[in-house]
């Protein structure tokens, strides 16, 4: 319990007045022994105990009435962030979650969770006498003093952003600040929607955070304002890849929603270079759906930008995805070969007729170099796995976003690459085949097409295969559960290992319905590294942060939707999605992909993360009251009145009983 007028509590000394008066009254009377008094005392001895108890209750009622009156005037506060037993605070360190998920409308006066948290904090601090306020915001990660507190909701460092949060990092910053500054009696308040992606409950950093808080001379209390009100129906849109093929722009995008119980129709609008093009409706039955749209560009277009957007819903800031594009990017494949029948087929599969932007080049293993790989999107390695000196070039190529496909070699070797090596070569029994019985239809180069059609891996007939050994994630399995197609993620790129060859002495993989889609999908994945020059995420931990001074927004976001009218939002362009110009470059910035992953930390996880710290949780599940506290002075006023009534009733003297009239003597 805390008090608005804490100085009034000195008035509790007045509660001792009835006791003092009682003691003084006892000393006013002098005891005189009188012989006849013994008869009176004897007559009243039986009622003496009850009278003592009555006088004690009267004295207690008077004392409590005065104490309750003092408490009422001091205006006590309970509940919310203040809890019970709060002493007067000197400093509050506010950790404010400004991630995009905090822009979800709560239904309370149309405020977002971020706005509601700010209003509640401002009102509560005002009721507490405005202690010093130190702000640690999730977007900039900086520590700022807010004075006066009434400006908290007008600052650029509390405005909306399209970023993500790192709560462990922010709590650590708050702890370091308390350790280095003289803050007096201090509390740390955390305003967040408890999204798991922001709190990272599995992170190993929580142990060191608990230790740093425990090491503080004055251990602060952590009070968590959890804005956990259930999210309204919300659908988000994100661009996965963008490819340009001559005058055709191919957009791969994804719709994700938080309510997957019923099928819904989603309207998607497409705009390019400031002009609205088309609007299409898509049906979504599950939690997410991957889609593709082709946009025809005006003739002789060199570069440009645009966006795709949804209709308003529970969170308008994830309803738009921006893109920028340049000239058509050539998709070049390097085939490292030791020779064999498979090579001509691989070359054709990587440079399909009619695709002018695709090309393939065959080189020997000793010709591999950084300069040759720098121009490639895809590397197909059909040779003995590289020696350590060549592995460095391949490592760098994949780390920077390139794709690689490794096929079985005719040479026996113990070489490894990315922890994977080739095992023994196996042949099926006569008149039998190795069959693929299980594969991932949602992820990897063998995934289903956007229209739902599948790559028919189960039709593959293999008479010769090579086992894959090492730490690898299986994407497709043979009928004996061994790996037919495996993947290793490395940096921004990936490498896949295929257990057979498109060669009639190995399999019928050369038919094309299986190998061509796998090669083309992996080629498109590697080609993203060239298109990434036009894309970036919002936030301080991106490469754009180093060029923040040169960033200007070139999209008129007010025409996109009301939520993206960034003219009314004080955050800097680095923290807002849109199309930006950085010197001569045009880049589309979008929210981090983590912001499309929803899920809250539960009480068990929160207790584990903050185990041993002095923390309390205030769950704001949509209350209309903007204060984090509750005044209860009325209760004490009523209590004072009750005590006075009890005292008055006990002080009333009973009327003497009427004596029966005496009968006259006979």
Question: Greater confidence, 200 or 636?
Answer: 200
CATH of residue 371 = 3.40.50.880
pLDDT at residue 622 tops 60: no
pLDDT at residue 361 tops 70: yes
Rounded CA gap, 279 and 344, in Å? 43
- Average pLDDT, integer, range 336-356: 85
pLDDT in tens, 69-110: 777 777 666 654 444 334 578 999 999 999 999 998 876 567
- In whole angstroms, how far apart are CA 387 and each of 334, 347, 417? 18, 24, 9
- Average pLDDT, integer, range 539-543: 86
pLDDT-derived band of residue 664, with 50, 70 and 90 as boundaries?
low
pLDDT in tens, 489-532: 999 899 999 999 998 899 999 887 899 999 999 998 888 888 77
Residues in the chain: 666
Three-state secondary structure call for residue 132: strand
Q: Per the structure, how many domains does the chain have?
A: 4
- Return the pLDDT at 481: 93
| Average pLDDT along the chain | 84
| 84 within a domain of the structure (yes/no) | no
| 579 within a domain of the structure (yes/no) | yes
- Considering the domain architecture, whether residues 589 and 612 belong to the same structural domain is answered as no
- Return the pLDDT at 631: 56
- Return the pLDDT at 641: 81
| 665 within a domain of the structure (yes/no) | no
Rounded CA gap, 1 and 73, in Å? 14
* 309 neighbors 237 (Cβ within 8 angstroms): yes
- Considering the domain architecture, whether residues 372 and 295 belong to the same structural domain is answered as no
- Return the pLDDT at 623: 47
| 86 within a domain of the structure (yes/no) | no
pLDDT at residue 61 tops 70: yes
pLDDT in tens, 260-316: 778 889 999 999 988 888 899 999 888 888 898 999 888 878 888 999 999 988 888
Q: How many CB atoms lie within 10 A of CB 292?
A: 14
pLDDT in tens, 436-446: 999 998 889 99
- Return the pLDDT at 628: 47
Rounded CA gap, 649 and 636, in Å? 20
| 543 within a domain of the structure (yes/no) | yes
- Considering the domain architecture, whether residues 397 and 442 belong to the same structural domain is answered as yes
| 658 within a domain of the structure (yes/no) | no
- Return the pLDDT at 86: 47
- Considering the domain architecture, whether residues 519 and 379 belong to the same structural domain is answered as yes
- Return the pLDDT at 83: 47
- Return the pLDDT at 82: 46
- Considering the domain architecture, whether residues 115 and 191 belong to the same structural domain is answered as yes
Cα angle, residue 402 at apex, residues 396 and 407 outer, rounded to 5°? 95
- Average pLDDT, integer, range 573-591: 89
Tokens 């009434």 sit on residue:
150
* 534 neighbors 588 (Cβ within 8 angstroms): yes
- Considering the domain architecture, whether residues 487 and 514 belong to the same structural domain is answered as yes
- Considering the domain architecture, whether residues 402 and 498 belong to the same structural domain is answered as yes
| 660 within a domain of the structure (yes/no) | no
- Return the pLDDT at 84: 38
pLDDT in tens, 113-167: 999 999 989 988 887 888 999 999 999 999 999 999 999 999 999 999 999 999 9
- Considering the domain architecture, whether residues 200 and 253 belong to the same structural domain is answered as no
- Considering the domain architecture, whether residues 166 and 221 belong to the same structural domain is answered as yes
- Considering the domain architecture, whether residues 526 and 555 belong to the same structural domain is answered as no
CATH of residue 261 = 2.60.40.10
- Average pLDDT, integer, range 160-178: 95
pLDDT-derived band of residue 175, with 50, 70 and 90 as boundaries?
very high
- Considering the domain architecture, whether residues 549 and 505 belong to the same structural domain is answered as no
Could you list the residue range(s) of the whole structural domain that residue 414 is in? 331-531
pLDDT at residue 35 tops 80: no
Burial environment of residue 60 by CB neighbours within 10 A (0 to 12, 13 to 18, 19 or more)? middle
């Amino acid at each position: 319990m805390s008090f608005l007028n804490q100085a009034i509590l000195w008035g509790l000394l007045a509660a001792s007045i009835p006791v003092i008066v009682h003691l003084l009254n006892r000393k006013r009377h002098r005891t005189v022994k009188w012989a006849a008094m013994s008869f009176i005392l004897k007559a009243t001895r039986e009622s003496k105990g009850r009278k003592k108890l009555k006088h004690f209750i009267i004295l207690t009622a008077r004392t409590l009435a005065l104490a309750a009156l003092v408490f009422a005037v001091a205006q006590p506060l309970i509940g919310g962030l203040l809890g019970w037993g709060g002493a007067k605070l000197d400093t509050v360190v506010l950790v404010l979650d400004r991630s995009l998920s905090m822009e979800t409308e709560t239904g309370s006066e149309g405020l977002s969770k971020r706005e509601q948290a700010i209003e509640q904090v401002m009102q509560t601090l005002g009721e507490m006498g405005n202690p010093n306020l130190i702000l640690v915001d999730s977007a900039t990660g900086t520590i700022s003093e807010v004075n006066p507190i009434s400006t908290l909701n007008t600052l650029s460092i509390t405005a909306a952003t399209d970023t993500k949060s790192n709560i462990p990092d922010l709590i650590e910053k708050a702890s370091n600040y308390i350790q280095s500054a003289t803050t007096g009696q201090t509390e740390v308040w955390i305003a967040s929607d408890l999204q798991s992606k922001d709190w990272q409950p599995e992170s190993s950093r929580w142990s060191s955070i608990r230790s740093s808080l425990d090491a503080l001379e004055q251990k602060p209390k952590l009070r968590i304002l959890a804005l956990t009100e259930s999210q309204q129906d919300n659908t988000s849109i994100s661009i996965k890849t963008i490819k340009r093929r001559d005058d055709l722009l191919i957009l791969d995008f994804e719709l994700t929603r938080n309510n997957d119980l019923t099928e819904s129709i989603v309207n998607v609008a497409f705009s390019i270079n400031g002009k609205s093009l088309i609007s299409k409706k898509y049906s979504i039955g599950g939690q997410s759906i991957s889609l593709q749209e082709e946009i025809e560009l005006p003739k002789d277009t060199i570069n440009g930008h645009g966006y795709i957007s949804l209709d308003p819903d529970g969170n308008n800031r994830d309803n738009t995805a921006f893109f920028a594009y340049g000239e058509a990017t050539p998709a070049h494949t390097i085939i490292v070969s030791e020779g064999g029948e498979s090579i001509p087929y691989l070359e054709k599969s990587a440079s399909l007729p009619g695709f002018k932007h695709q090309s393939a080049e065959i080189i020997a293993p000793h010709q591999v170099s950084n300069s040759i790989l720098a121009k490639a999107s895809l590397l197909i390695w059909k040779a003995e796995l590289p020696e350590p000196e060549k592995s460095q070039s391949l490592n760098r190529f994949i780390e920077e976003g390139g794709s690689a496909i490794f096929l079985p070699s005719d040479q026996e070797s113990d070489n490894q690459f990315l922890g994977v090596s080739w095992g023994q070569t196996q042949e099926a029994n006569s008149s039998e085949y190795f069959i693929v019985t299980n594969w991932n239809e949602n992820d990897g180069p063998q995934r289903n097409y956007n229209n739902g059609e599948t790559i028919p891996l189960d039709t593959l007939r293999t008479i010769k295969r090579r086992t894959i050994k090492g730490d690898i994630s299986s994407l497709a399995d043979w009928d004996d559960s061994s790996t037919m197609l495996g993947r290793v993620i490395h940096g921004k790129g990936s490498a896949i290992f295929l257990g057979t060859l498109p060669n009639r002495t190995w399999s019928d993989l050369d038919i094309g319905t299986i190998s061509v889609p796998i090669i083309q999908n992996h080629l498109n994945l590697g080609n993203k590294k060239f298109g990434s020059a036009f894309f970036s995420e919002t936030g301080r931990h991106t490469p754009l942060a180093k060029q923040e001074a040169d960033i200007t927004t070139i999209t008129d976001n007010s025409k996109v939707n009301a939520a993206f009218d960034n003219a009314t939002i004080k955050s800097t362009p680095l923290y807002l999605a849109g199309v930006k110009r950085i010197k001569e470059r045009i880049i589309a910035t979008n929210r981090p992909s983590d912001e499309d992953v929803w899920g809250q930390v539960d009480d068990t996880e929160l207790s584990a993360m903050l185990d041993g710290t002095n923390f309390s949780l205030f769950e704001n599940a949509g209350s209309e009251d903007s204060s984090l506290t509750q005044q209860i002075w009325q209760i004490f006023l009523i209590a004072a009145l009750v005590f006075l009534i009890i005292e008055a009733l006990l002080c009333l003297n009973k009327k003497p009983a009427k004596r029966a009239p005496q009968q006259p003597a006979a």
